[in-house]
Amino acid sequence: MLQKIDNFFNENDYLKVTGIVNSLASWEFSGQSKNSDEPTFWYASLDDNYELLELFKNALNNKFCFNEIDVKAFYANGQNHGQCGGFHADSLDERCRTLLFYANSEWSVDWAVLLFFWIQVKK
């Protein structure tokens, strides 16, 4: 299931989240898609950022009533204009979910950014 959620965070939490993400000093060009041997994107680990993790967990609980959330990976992924990520599956476990959060206060379809999803339909 693919679901777009506007206003995932309340305004106060959104400002906290974007402030944390925008001040990250640990960006490295080391991110790799699972089908690549070379780095393809900018990466910053968020594993030790407990304040940010709690903000996401609270928002998920508020939107979906998820009381227990087991986070497998928590990181920021960034790309410069013209970079392309590789097509990949985040997990093969049917119970896993992926959350994408764009930390942009503005967004325009004119920026020609594309994100593709492959959804396998069970027969």
Residue 13 has pLDDT above 80, yes or no: yes
Greater confidence, 50 or 116? 50
- Name the residue range of residue 70's domain: 11-111
Supply the pLDDT for residue 54. 92
Residue 52 has pLDDT above 90, yes or no: yes
Greater confidence, 112 or 58? 58
Q: Tell whether 57 is covered by a domain.
A: yes
Q: Tell whether 20 is covered by a domain.
A: yes
With the CA atoms of 62, 64, 66 and 70 taken in that order, what torsion angle do they form, in degrees rounded to the nearest 10?
-110
With the CA atoms of 97, 98, 101 and 107 taken in that order, what torsion angle do they form, in degrees rounded to the nearest 10?
-110
Q: Tell whether 100 is covered by a domain.
A: yes
Total number of domains in the chain: 1
The pLDDT tens digits of the residues spanning 58-82 come to 998 888 877 777 888 888 888 887 7
Supply the pLDDT for residue 92. 83
The beta strands (E) that lie in the chain are given as 28-31, 41-45, 75-78
Residues with Cβ within 8 Å of 24's Cβ and at least 6 positions away in sequence, in order, are 44, 76
Q: Tell whether 117 is covered by a domain.
A: no
- The predicted model scores a pTM of 0.77
Q: Tell whether 16 is covered by a domain.
A: yes
Backbone phi and psi for residue 50, each to the nearest 5 degrees, phi listed first = -70, -30
Question: Encoding tokens for residue 21?
Answer: 């993400």
Greater confidence, 43 or 36? 43
Q: Tell whether 18 is covered by a domain.
A: yes
Average pLDDT value for residue range 110-123: 74
Supply the pLDDT for residue 17. 93
Residue 12 has pLDDT above 90, yes or no: yes
Cα distance between residue 65 and residue 63, in whole Å: 6
